[in-house]
Amino acid sequence: MRPTLQRQGRPRRLEDCVGIAALSRHAAWLAALDQALRKTLPKAMQDQVRLAAIKGRRLVFLAPSPAWASRLRTLQQSIFTTARGLGLEVDAISVKMATWTPPEREDTRPRKTLSESSAQHLTAAARHLGDPQLQRMFLDLASHGKAPPASEDEKD
C-alpha cells in the first residue's frame, strides 16, 4: 500500500515529510560539493559547468556546449583528486549538455561617471542628431555626467 500525503483528509505537516527533509539535505550537500569542485577549475570554466549528480562512482556534470564538455574532460584527473580529497570514491565523469541562466552577480566595480565636459559634448552632439531615439540616448548618457561643484553663491 502506498503512503498518502494526507492524514484523515488533511495535508501532512512539512516536518512529517521525511523525504523532503532528506531531499533538502542532499541538495544542499550537492550544491556545496559543486562549489568545491568548480573552485579547482579555471576561472573561465567555473561559470560554464555545474555538478548535477553523483551516480555510483561517476560525477555527472552539465555543460552548455560540447566544447565546454571537452575542456572539462581534460581536467578530470584534477577533479578526481579534489573529489577524493572530499571523501568521494569516484573514477568517471560524464557530461550532459544543458543550458541555464547563470545567477546574476552584483557588480562591485566602482561606477565611472562622465566628466562635465564629456556630458556637455554629448548634449551638444544630441542637438545635431536627426534621429529622435538616438538623440534621447545621447541625452540619457549625458545625464550621467558629473555636476560642476556648487559655487559659493549657490551654496546660500
Same domain for 133 and 79: no
Main-chain phi, psi angles of 94, to 5 degrees: -125, 150
C-alpha grid cell for residue 113?
561617471
Contact criterion met (CB below 8 Å) for 39 and 49: no
The verdict on residue 30 lying in a domain is no
Main-chain phi, psi angles of 126, to 5 degrees: -60, -35
pLDDT tens per residue, range 61-78: 999 999 999 999 999 999
Contact criterion met (CB below 8 Å) for 45 and 31: no
Q: How many CB atoms lie within 10 A of CB 63?
A: 22
Average pLDDT over residues 103-127: 79
Same domain for 58 and 91: yes
The verdict on residue 27 lying in a domain is no
CA 76 to chain CA centroid, nearest Å: 23
In the prediction, which pLDDT does 36 show?
A: 94
State which residues form the domain around 129: 116-148
CATH value at residue 73: 3.30.300
Same domain for 120 and 95: no
Residue 89's pLDDT band (cuts 50, 70, 90): very high
CA 56 to chain CA centroid, nearest Å: 28
**3-state SS, one letter per residue, for 57-98:** CEEEEEECCHHHHHHHHHCHHHHHHHHHHCCCCCCEEEEEEC
Domains identified in the chain, total number = 2
The verdict on residue 32 lying in a domain is no
In the prediction, which pLDDT does 152 show?
A: 52
Same domain for 132 and 86: no
In the prediction, which pLDDT does 150 show?
A: 53
Average pLDDT over residues 129-142: 87
Same domain for 125 and 92: no
pLDDT tens per residue, range 114-123: 888 888 888 9
